[in-house]
Protein backbone atom coordinates (compact mmCIF):
# COMPACT_ATOMS: atom_id res chain seq x y z
CA UNK A 1 0.00 0.00 0.00
CA UNK A 2 2.73 2.50 -0.85
CA UNK A 3 1.38 6.03 -1.19
CA UNK A 4 2.65 8.82 -3.45
CA UNK A 5 4.93 9.99 -0.65
CA UNK A 6 6.23 6.41 -0.10
CA UNK A 7 4.73 6.14 3.37
CA UNK A 8 4.11 2.51 4.12
CA UNK A 9 1.18 1.51 6.31
CA UNK A 10 -0.05 -1.77 7.79
CA UNK A 11 0.63 -4.72 5.41
CA UNK A 12 2.66 -2.48 3.09
CA UNK A 13 5.56 -2.41 5.57
CA UNK A 14 8.40 -4.67 4.42
CA UNK A 15 10.65 -4.83 7.49
CA UNK A 16 10.63 -7.95 9.65
CA UNK A 17 11.27 -6.09 12.90
CA UNK A 18 10.16 -2.58 13.87
CA UNK A 19 10.72 -0.20 16.75
CA UNK A 20 7.10 0.61 17.59
CA UNK A 21 5.89 3.86 19.17
CA UNK A 22 2.36 4.57 20.32
CA UNK A 23 0.61 7.34 22.26
CA UNK A 24 1.44 5.47 25.47
CA UNK A 25 5.16 5.51 24.65
CA UNK A 26 7.79 3.21 23.20
CA UNK A 27 6.61 -0.40 22.85
CA UNK A 28 10.10 -1.60 21.92
CA UNK A 29 11.30 -3.72 19.01
CA UNK A 30 8.52 -6.01 17.77
CA UNK A 31 8.09 -8.36 14.84
CA UNK A 32 5.90 -7.07 12.03
CA UNK A 33 3.06 -9.48 12.93
CA UNK A 34 3.15 -8.46 16.63
CA UNK A 35 3.19 -4.76 15.68
CA UNK A 36 0.21 -5.20 13.31
CA UNK A 37 -1.66 -7.12 16.03
CA UNK A 38 -0.98 -4.29 18.53
CA UNK A 39 -2.30 -1.72 16.02
CA UNK A 40 -5.43 -3.76 15.24
CA UNK A 41 -6.03 -4.27 18.97
CA UNK A 42 -6.22 -0.48 19.36
CA UNK A 43 -8.25 -0.03 16.15
CA UNK A 44 -5.48 2.12 14.60
CA UNK A 45 -2.96 1.88 11.76
CA UNK A 46 0.72 0.99 11.83
CA UNK A 47 2.65 3.65 9.91
CA UNK A 48 6.33 3.42 9.05
CA UNK A 49 7.78 6.77 10.18
CA UNK A 50 11.50 6.26 9.66
CA UNK A 51 12.23 3.46 7.16
CA UNK A 52 16.00 4.15 7.07
CA UNK A 53 16.57 3.58 10.80
CA UNK A 54 17.89 0.26 12.08
CA UNK A 55 15.38 -1.22 12.93
CA UNK A 56 12.81 0.94 11.11
CA UNK A 57 10.55 3.05 13.33
CA UNK A 58 6.77 2.66 13.07
CA UNK A 59 4.02 4.47 14.92
CA UNK A 60 0.57 3.26 15.91
CA UNK A 61 -1.76 6.11 15.00
CA UNK A 62 -4.90 6.79 12.97
CA UNK A 63 -3.82 7.30 9.34
CA UNK A 64 -6.23 10.22 8.85
CA UNK A 65 -4.76 12.01 11.89
CA UNK A 66 -1.25 11.29 10.60
CA UNK A 67 -2.09 12.84 7.21
CA UNK A 68 -3.65 15.86 8.92
CA UNK A 69 -0.51 16.38 11.04
CA UNK A 70 1.72 16.07 7.96
CA UNK A 71 -0.32 18.68 6.03
CA UNK A 72 -0.25 20.98 9.05
CA UNK A 73 3.56 20.71 9.22
CA UNK A 74 3.84 21.43 5.50
CA UNK A 75 1.67 24.55 5.90
CA UNK A 76 3.86 25.79 8.75
CA UNK A 77 7.00 25.24 6.69
CA UNK A 78 5.44 27.06 3.75
CA UNK A 79 4.33 29.95 5.96
CA UNK A 80 7.81 30.34 7.42
CA UNK A 81 9.57 30.61 4.08
CA UNK A 82 10.99 34.03 3.28
CA UNK A 83 9.64 34.21 -0.24
CA UNK A 84 6.42 35.76 0.92
CA UNK A 85 3.10 35.58 -0.83
CA UNK A 86 2.37 36.70 -4.32
CA UNK A 87 3.86 39.69 -6.10
CA UNK A 88 1.48 42.65 -6.26
CA UNK A 89 2.15 45.30 -8.87
CA UNK A 90 1.95 49.04 -8.46
CA UNK A 91 2.37 51.28 -11.50
CA UNK A 92 2.91 55.04 -11.54
CA UNK A 93 3.88 57.56 -14.18
CA UNK A 94 6.33 60.43 -13.87
CA UNK A 95 3.54 63.01 -13.61
CA UNK A 96 1.42 61.17 -11.02
CA UNK A 97 0.15 63.57 -8.35
CA UNK A 98 0.81 63.39 -4.61
CA UNK A 99 -2.73 62.26 -3.72
CA UNK A 100 -2.63 59.39 -6.22
CA UNK A 101 0.79 58.37 -4.96
CA UNK A 102 -0.41 58.36 -1.35
CA UNK A 103 -3.38 56.15 -2.33
CA UNK A 104 -1.13 53.71 -4.15
CA UNK A 105 1.30 53.73 -1.21
CA UNK A 106 -1.59 52.83 1.14
CA UNK A 107 -2.30 49.81 -1.06
CA UNK A 108 1.38 48.88 -1.03
CA UNK A 109 1.45 49.17 2.77
CA UNK A 110 -1.60 46.90 3.04
CA UNK A 111 -0.04 44.33 0.70
CA UNK A 112 3.22 44.37 2.67
CA UNK A 113 1.29 43.78 5.91
CA UNK A 114 -0.40 40.78 4.28
CA UNK A 115 3.06 39.36 3.53
CA UNK A 116 3.09 39.97 -0.23
CA UNK A 117 5.92 41.43 -2.24
CA UNK A 118 5.27 44.67 -4.09
CA UNK A 119 6.67 45.50 -7.51
CA UNK A 120 6.75 49.28 -7.90
CA UNK A 121 7.04 50.24 -11.54
CA UNK A 122 7.69 53.69 -12.95
CA UNK A 123 5.93 53.67 -16.30
CA UNK A 124 7.96 55.59 -18.89
CA UNK A 125 6.58 56.39 -22.30
CA UNK A 126 7.61 58.67 -25.10
CA UNK A 127 10.19 61.28 -24.16
CA UNK A 128 10.11 60.34 -20.49
CA UNK A 129 12.19 57.25 -21.37
CA UNK A 130 15.12 59.54 -22.03
CA UNK A 131 14.94 61.58 -18.82
CA UNK A 132 17.85 61.64 -16.40
CA UNK A 133 18.29 58.38 -14.41
CA UNK A 134 18.59 60.32 -11.14
CA UNK A 135 15.27 62.03 -11.87
CA UNK A 136 13.63 58.62 -12.45
CA UNK A 137 15.08 57.26 -9.19
CA UNK A 138 13.81 60.32 -7.34
CA UNK A 139 10.29 59.69 -8.70
CA UNK A 140 10.40 56.09 -7.43
CA UNK A 141 11.73 57.31 -4.08
CA UNK A 142 8.67 59.59 -3.75
CA UNK A 143 6.47 56.48 -3.66
CA UNK A 144 8.73 54.68 -1.20
CA UNK A 145 8.59 57.67 1.18
CA UNK A 146 4.81 57.30 1.47
CA UNK A 147 4.94 53.60 2.47
CA UNK A 148 4.49 53.37 6.24
CA UNK A 149 5.28 49.66 6.68
CA UNK A 150 8.98 48.82 7.19
CA UNK A 151 10.29 47.25 3.97
CA UNK A 152 13.47 46.06 2.37
CA UNK A 153 14.41 46.18 -1.28
CA UNK A 154 14.63 42.66 -2.70
CA UNK A 155 15.44 43.58 -6.30
CA UNK A 156 17.14 46.91 -6.80
CA UNK A 157 16.32 49.22 -9.70
CA UNK A 158 15.96 47.33 -12.97
CA UNK A 159 14.99 48.19 -16.52
CA UNK A 160 11.78 46.72 -17.89
CA UNK A 161 10.09 47.10 -21.28
CA UNK A 162 7.67 49.62 -19.76
CA UNK A 163 10.18 51.60 -17.71
CA UNK A 164 12.02 50.91 -14.47
CA UNK A 165 10.96 48.97 -11.39
CA UNK A 166 12.06 47.65 -8.04
CA UNK A 167 10.74 44.89 -5.81
CA UNK A 168 10.17 45.30 -2.08
CA UNK A 169 9.01 43.04 0.72
CA UNK A 170 8.16 43.50 4.38
CA UNK A 171 11.18 43.87 6.64
CA UNK A 172 10.75 41.40 9.47
CA UNK A 173 13.89 42.42 11.35
CA UNK A 174 13.24 44.01 14.76
CA UNK A 175 15.22 47.21 14.15
CA UNK A 176 13.39 50.52 14.38
CA UNK A 177 12.92 52.86 11.45
CA UNK A 178 15.23 55.87 11.74
CA UNK A 179 13.59 59.23 12.30
CA UNK A 180 13.92 61.67 9.42
CA UNK A 181 14.27 64.60 11.86
CA UNK A 182 17.82 63.67 12.86
Question: Do 55 and 17 meet the contact criterion of CB atoms below 8 Å apart?
Answer: yes
3-state secondary structure 9-22: EHHHCCCCEEEEEE
Q: Is 117 helix (H, G, I), strand (E, B) or coil?
A: strand
- Report pTM: 0.49
Report domain extents, the chain: 1-63, 87-170
Per-residue pLDDT of the chain (182 residues; tens, 9 = 90+): 444 457 888 888 988 999 999 888 888 999 999 999 999 999 999 999 988 888 899 999 999 999 999 999 888 877 666 555 688 898 988 888 889 999 999 999 998 888 888 999 988 888 777 888 888 888 888 888 988 888 888 888 888 888 888 998 888 776 555 544 44
CA angle 62, 42, 72 (to 5 degrees): 15
For the chain, helix (H) and strand (E) counts, in that order, are 4, 8
Instruction: Name the residue among 66, 70, 73, 56 with its Cα closest to residue 23.
Output: 66
Judge if 1-63 and 87-170 fold alike in CATH terms. no
Distance CA 144, CA 96 (A): 14
Please give the CATH number for the structural domain made up of 1-63: 3.10.20.80
Q: Fold for domain 87-170?
A: Translation Initiation Factor IF3 (3.30.110)
Distance CA 156, CA 102 (A): 22
Amino acid sequence: MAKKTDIRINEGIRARELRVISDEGNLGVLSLSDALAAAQERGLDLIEISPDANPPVAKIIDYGKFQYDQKKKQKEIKANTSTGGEVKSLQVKIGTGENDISLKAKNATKWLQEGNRVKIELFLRGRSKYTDKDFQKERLQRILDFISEPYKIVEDLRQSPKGIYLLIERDKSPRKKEDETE
